[in-house]
Structure 1
Amino acid sequence: MTRHILHVDRTVRLADAAHEGHNRWHPDIKPMACVRDGDEAEIHTRDSFDCQICRSMTGADLAGVSIGRAHPLTGPVFVDGAMPGDLLAVDILDIHAHNEGFTVIAPGFGFLRDRFTAPHLVHWQMADGYATSPQMPGVRIEGNPFFGVMGLAPSKPLLATILEREQRLHDKGGAVFLPDPDGAVPAFDDALRTIPPREMGGNLDIKQLTKGTTVYLPVYAEGGLFSVGDAHFAQGDGESCGSAIETSAILHARFRVLKGEAARRGQKDVSFGNETAPRPPLDPSTRFYATTGTCIRDDGENLSEDLTLATRNALLNMVDHICDRYGFTPENAICLASVAVNLRISQIVDVPNVTVSAFLPLDIFD
């Protein structure tokens, strides 16, 4: 077994060190490293905004931030022997997060982007396993570091399929980020944006992808071409405002090739598991306050089995609760929800009204 180290200078933007990674998906991006089945790697990453956020900034300064530079990824890592039809198992052995982070509201982005239209920035400091912010007095968020983006490159046929279907979605008025050269590294015209997750992984933003978890990624291109980035110190289910406690971090991982397993199982998307988790994702002994939402609009119109509307209503009710109970602004309330509130589908059978619950853990408050 060999251990590889992939260094990056997290203080330098990706465009000035293009050999250290990429921020688009494409099968022709040259590998940063080549590993063998069973090898381990220590992979260093930049923060998700590519060094654009510093501690002296305020929300007003976000106007100069380019979303085109989002998700500088370290990689790709070519895994010898990985071929289409295989599964690449990535064992997350450890994650070491940096001691500073931030949460942003970017206008036009986030689940409640129609309600939260002004830029907003929260700075966090991390120490002894917790994050605190002078903008949120009395709040202490327990760390649960993970990477929002873990994925493989698409094959050229899959790339063409994705480009075609996302263009169709755009033409129908859907919310989608099409290829854009602004800030792109490398500057391929047909490279995919990193904003959404896809069949080969990507921006999954699954908070359970922590130390001890194994991620199973179906291989579409030779070598798999694994990349990682978008480190989070902590996040609530949903990443509601569009960001978590964003930071830079180091991934220690082991790569294993499961020959033919994707083809045998018919697996076309990502799966993951952790058989040694110290506690369930929502410990029933944890103190909490929860709000709920159903699929009834503000104008009284009842939609049928609409989980999106139910989620929206649960989150808006939680924002109102945080503002009322703790005196936070709506902007800080949605940022707090984004990094700490857990969303659960409580029931989907009592038609027409499904129920989503938003859980606020009370142990985060001093």
Structure 2
Amino acid sequence: MTVLQPHTGPISGQHYLPASGAALSWGRLPTPDRKPMLTVRSGDTVTVDTISHEGLMEDQGRDPLTYFGERGVAASDVLVDLVDLAGSDVVHTRGPDGPHVVTGPIHVEGARPGDILKIEYLELLPRVLYGVVSSRHGLGCLAGERPVNDETGEAVPILSQFCTVDLDSGEATMAWGSGGRIDFPIAPFMGLSGVTAATDEALNTIPPGRHGGNLDVRDLGHGAAMYLPVQVDGAGYYMGDPHFAQGNGEVSLTALEASLRTTVRLTVLEPDAAFAAVGGLDGPVGETATHWIAIGLDRDLDEAMRKCVREAIRVLAEVAEVPPSVAYLYLSAAGDFVVSQVVDDVKGVHCLIRKRDFPAWH
């Protein structure tokens, strides 16, 4: 594989949006007055280049050529759009701004508030053969406790692990010391994918919400779909925070962060059509060929769990016509509730509901 630099390599969508110039925002989501970078029809496919923030961040030097060069990556294998952003005059302030680089927005003709945007993930191609997992002090599941220097036990501000990727085996390698290594499978997905919220202020990219955004639900990968309530005319779709792999929980702070070229189909559904698919949703809902994915979000993990249970009951009642009391009992016996992530301020729980358990969906 060659590195997928902008405008090179396979581009399978009807439209293409590179990660450059005005198409990028760093740390903030698009607002309703943001000029769309692309206008498409409902049902069109779009290929979008996304870039990872790891190797770009200020605490890593904001110099990806040097950062990755010190880890054995040739300059020609560093993405030029990443280098261009690092060298630009774009102001990024950690804290007020999130870390994520966002590509978009995309205007979908005919989308109006009250409609649902269906996002189908058709293809997720690695743009590079390496990625980074990081932990930053004060953040992550063990905020204030880790990361530390394993030898001294002293706190360190950031700990980052460079990983190589073999696409033939489909595995990433995390290596350390004299021969220590872990190999684990990659399963690319977009950590951040959403519609523009009807707010005047540009939202921080970190917390997910009704708009979708930084959900970090790893089951929304190749072949999956996500449904989001449209909040502004044209939907204002965007994506970012590309991942090669993530464990549920994302406990240290990041996944295996690495740049992707992602092709999606964007379809506008009027309320009746959306109801037939996922019911009367008021926030993100996912779907695969085999499962519905109910999602609960809250700053309190216990409340996120309760919200996910209520949402799973709603999906079963409205889509599979299961009485809510029966749905509640079924979910206790067969629903698979998972902590999506605990590191994005607003925590996430999602439930995988097997379609095969319901006669009409066999």
Percent of residue pairs identical:
31
Who is 1:272 aligned against? 286
Who is 1:73 aligned against? 102
Instruction: Give runs of aligned pairs for residues 92-131 of structure 1, distance below 5 A.
Output: 92-97=121-126, 98-117=128-147, 118=156, 119-127=158-166, 128=168, 129-131=170-172
> Do the aligned partners of residues 33 and 147 (structure 1) sit closer, same or farther apart at CA in structure 2, a change above 3 Å counting?
same
- For 1:106 and 1:57, the matched residues in 2 are separated by 20
Q: Secondary structure at the match of 1:251?
A: strand
Instruction: Give runs of aligned pairs for residues 137-148 of structure 1, distance below 5 A.
Output: 137-148=180-191
Q: Secondary structure at the match of 2:231?
A: coil
Retained in 2: the 8 A contact 1:40–1:254? yes
* TM-score, normalised via structure 1 length: 0.60
Q: How far off its partner does 1:192 sit?
A: 1.0
Who is 1:245 aligned against? 256
Query: Given residue 42 of structure 2, which amino acid in structure 1 is its aligned partner?
Result: D
- Aligned partner (choices 230, 244, 247) of residue 219 of structure 1: 230
Q: Determine whether 1:24 maps to 2:54.
A: no
Who is 1:35 aligned against? 40
> Do the aligned partners of residues 213 and 306 (structure 1) sit closer, same or farther apart at CA in structure 2, a change above 3 Å counting?
closer
Q: Determine whether 1:82 maps to 2:144.
A: no
Query: Given residue 131 of structure 1, which amino acid in structure 2 is its aligned partner?
Result: A
Q: How far off its partner does 1:212 sit?
A: 0.3
Q: How far off its partner does 1:48 sit?
A: 3.0
Note the alpha carbon deviations across 1:226-262, whole angstroms, 9 max, x for none. Answer: 1001011000001101101001101111111101259
Indicate the RMSD between aligned Cα atoms, in angstroms. Answer: 3.3
> Do the aligned partners of residues 261 and 84 (structure 1) sit closer, same or farther apart at CA in structure 2, a change above 3 Å counting?
farther
Q: Secondary structure at the match of 2:113?
A: coil
Who is 2:68 aligned against? 55
Query: Given residue 251 of structure 1, which amino acid in structure 2 is its aligned partner?
Result: T
> Do the aligned partners of residues 105 and 66 (structure 1) sit closer, same or farther apart at CA in structure 2, a change above 3 Å counting?
farther
Q: How far off its partner does 1:343 sit?
A: 8.8
Who is 1:312 aligned against? none
- For 2:282 and 2:246, the matched residues in 1 are separated by 26
RCO higher in 1 or 2 (8 Å CA, sep ≥ 6)? 1
Q: Determine whether 1:153 maps to 2:166.
A: no
Greater share of residues in strand: 2
Q: Determine whether 1:234 maps to 2:251.
A: no
- For 1:39 and 1:215, the matched residues in 2 are separated by 16
> Do the aligned partners of residues 6 and 124 (structure 1) sit closer, same or farther apart at CA in structure 2, a change above 3 Å counting?
same
Who is 1:338 aligned against? none
Who is 2:220 aligned against? 209
Task: Structure 1: state its 5+ residue gaps.
Answer: 10-16, 59-64, 161-189, 282-304, 309-341, 346-355, 357-366
Who is 2:313 aligned against? none
- For 2:301 and 2:101, the matched residues in 1 are separated by 34
Q: Secondary structure at the match of 1:138?
A: strand
- For 2:27 and 2:39, the matched residues in 1 are separated by 19
Who is 2:173 aligned against? 132
> Do the aligned partners of residues 95 and 2 (structure 1) sit closer, same or farther apart at CA in structure 2, a change above 3 Å counting?
closer
Task: Structure 2: state its 5+ residue gaps.
Answer: 1-11, 61-66, 72-91, 148-155, 294-299, 304-335, 340-348, 350-362
- For 1:66 and 1:56, the matched residues in 2 are separated by 25
Aligned length: 244
- For 2:144 and 2:222, the matched residues in 1 are separated by 35
Q: How far off its partner does 1:130 sit?
A: 0.8
Q: How far off its partner does 1:306 sit?
A: 8.1
Note the alpha carbon deviations across 1:118-159, whole angstroms, 9 max, x for none. Answer: 22110011112111022282311101000100001011xxx2
Who is 1:260 aligned against? 271
Retained in 1: the 8 A contact 2:123–2:262? yes
- For 1:229 and 1:110, the matched residues in 2 are separated by 20
Who is 2:82 aligned against? none
Retained in 1: the 8 A contact 2:98–2:205? no
- Kindly report structure 1 stretches of 4+ aligned residues shifted beyond 3 Å: 18-23, 65-69, 261-266, 305-308, 342-345
Note the alpha carbon deviations across 1:146-196, whole angstroms, 9 max, x for none. Answer: 0100001011xxx27xxxxxxxxxxxxxxxxxxxxxxxxxxxxx3210001
